[in-house]
Amino acid sequence: MIPATKDSRELGEDLIYYGPLRAIICRLHGIVINSADTAIKRHLRSKGHRSRGQKLTDVLHKLSGLSIADVKEIHRLQLKESSSKPVPHIRIQDGWKCTLCDDEFLTTSLELVQRHAGTVHGRERLGPIYWTAVKLQTLFSETKDRRYFVVTPTTLYQTLPPTPPSSVILSRVSSPFTITLKHPFAEIAERHAPLSSSRINHLLKSPAFKCASMPIFDDTLSNMDLHMKSVFPECDESPVWITAILYSTVQIMNRGAITTEGLRLQRRTIKLLNEKLTLRTAFCTAAVGAIMVLKATAYKTNDSNGLRIHSQGLSQILEYADKIDLELTPAARNALFWIDLGASAYGDDIVASPTPEIPKLVWPRELCPQFAQLPVGFQRNERRLPLLLLECVADLVEFQAGLESRTTDQLGRMQASIELRLLNLAQTTRVDPLAELVRLAVYICCYCSWMGTWNISILPVRLASKMMAIMEHPSGLFSRLVDADVDLLLWLLFICSSAVELDEGYVNDIRSRRDCFLASFAQESVCHKFNEEFDAVTDIAMGRALQNYVYVAGWVEQRRRHQSWISFEKTLSGAEG
């Protein structure tokens, strides 16, 4: 026997000696072969190899001079060498792990991990999810020797959740109904997507498709410059683009929940993307668009892992596009900016900045040194709020004043400038909870004041959800943020409540959370007056809240259509005593 070595070597017949584990790996089947002579012979004679005669003798002769570990020793060496990197040549499988058991419970069966969560952790049906999708490897295929371990594939777009059996998890989307008129895009999509014609038509006509399309293209046809083919000319004949946009629609419709349909579309999208990246001659702008869709879908559905993966993938694919001189349309480059801006608005882990290719998109604030006059409510709170935030408020007043007189291009630039500065304020300056609430409320007002570019309500609703998270702090933080200027509190509540009314069902429990908080806040003001000068119970404070700040056109008048806000106002007005 030769001594153990870290080297790996080819043995023929798709067998490899892998030194770190002192194991024989079958590259054809992606497994380690048991070191017993009978097991090796049996494997080489099996389907796939069918080694006989001199070929079999030659391989066995090469094996006779190697130090091959037994099953227990190989497992021990694997644990010793344990890392997130996959073992070379071993098949990577889709799997699940129990989040409460760390890496102690790993399986390739969704049914087993669901059963484990119920029997071991007491999970009830439709209760919280105690498992997450992972990538797994096992060195041996036989049940008695199988030991799964988690790995992180290094290949771009290889990290995907497994497809659950259709008998285990069902789509939460209602079954499609008969539609007589087809969506214009349906006929094209039917040629490439693994869905029925009626299902495709239903998806394309749903509000989720409109949400999925923005901020990449405008599916309403109200702006032909931002129509799908104007942004990505090859998209109507690109399977990867079509599959990606349908996947996005399904995920948004299901609020990011894992479904058989969504995973099937996701896996097909990634497979087609990998083919595009492998066959560089077939690379096109529609592939870039597909990754843009995946990134936008990730942040719309709170998929932080997907956002990280697709942000990295988009950066790499854009670099490659530049190397081969693949030109994106101006509309596609603008969409890149809006995607980054949207990702930063949803989450704070991506710094929004104008992409180098479109420096003229953002309005040059420095060219307009004069600020509009601040509304009275903000003037009273100047000392409590950062100067940069107040400057954004002043610009918002100017922006709203010019909605009728400025061009679409001017409005888009000015709106992008205000939103970008509001995001950078949160990422570069440490602000207190009051300033953060005001920042979010001003962003909502800016976004909803003019939706001529991207008319998608999910963003302001998510920002309202962020506001709710601060307000719902268990320490009662919100009720103690301001002393005398209670009207500022009421304005924040009004903007948050109005934004929640835009929800189309994409944010779980946002309406019920809003209603509960309004009721509890009103009751607390009645029973425990925050201080002697607390005038939230008077019509004066409510009047100030609805007149002295910034708003979206029509929201103040429309508040009387919202039952929860009407009840809130009535409770406050009757609280004086």
Same domain, yes or no: 232 and 322: yes
**CA angle centred on 358, ends 356 and 359, rounded to 5°:** 75
User: Among 138-142, 181-185, 209-213, 292-296, which stretch is predicted with the lowest mean pLDDT?
Assistant: 181-185
8-12: strand order across its sheet: 8-12, 15-18, 23-26, 31-33
User: Averaged over 70-78, what is the pLDDT?
Assistant: 81
**Spatial contact of 565 and 542, defined as CB atoms under 8 Å apart:** no
Residues 446, 325 within the same domain: no
Instruction: Report phi then psi at 149, rounded to 5.
Output: -145, 150
Q: Using one digit for the tens of pLDDT, what is the confidence trace for 526-563?
A: 554 444 444 444 567 788 889 999 999 999 998 888 88
184 versus 375: which is more confidently predicted? 375
* Digit-coded pLDDT (tens) for 482-531: 555 788 888 999 999 999 998 877 777 888 888 888 888 777 665 544 44
The pLDDT of residue 125 = 67
Asked, for residue 161, whether it belongs to a domain, the answer is no
Q: Residues 425, 553: one domain? A: yes
User: Side chain identity at 251, as an amino acid letter?
Assistant: Q
| Residue where a domain stops, chosen among 54, 80, 106 | 80
* Residue 124 shares a structural domain with residue 265: no
Instruction: Assess whether pLDDT exceeds 50 at residue 575.
Output: no
Worst-scoring range by mean pLDDT, 292-296, 349-353, 440-444, 468-472?
349-353
- Does residue 340 fall inside a structural domain? yes
pLDDT value, residue 497: 93
pLDDT at 152 over 60: yes
pLDDT, one tens digit per residue, over 195-222 is 888 888 888 888 888 888 877 776 554 4
H or E segment to which residue 527 belongs: helix 510-527
- 317 in a structural domain: yes
- Given 313, 346, 379, which residue is the final one in a domain? 346
The residues pairing with 363 across neighbouring beta strands, listed in sequence order, are none
What's residue 37's pLDDT?
63
State the pLDDT at residue 163.
37
Q: Look up the domain containing 391 and give its range.
A: 365-573
pLDDT of residue 225: 52
Please check whether residue 509 is in contact with residue 255, taking contact to mean a CB–CB distance below 8 angstroms. Answer: no
pLDDT bucket at 359, cuts 50 / 70 / 90: very low
- Is pLDDT at 1 greater than 80 in this prediction? no
Domain contains 169: no
Average pLDDT, the chain: 76
**110 and 221 both lie in a single domain:** no
pLDDT value for 562: 87
The helix (H) or strand (E) run that includes residue 151 is strand 148-151
Q: Are 112 and 20 found together in one domain?
A: no
Q: In terms of domains, do 253 and 337 share one? A: yes
The pLDDT tens digits of the residues spanning 173-187 come to 333 333 346 777 777
Q: Is residue 178 part of a domain?
A: no
Contact 419, 341 (CB under 8 A): yes
Q: What is the domain count for the chain?
A: 4
pLDDT on residue 479: 59
Across the range 126-140, mean pLDDT stands at: 80
Say yes or no: 237 and 109 in one domain.
Answer: no
157 assigned to some structural domain: no
Q: Which pLDDT score is estimated for 491?
A: 93
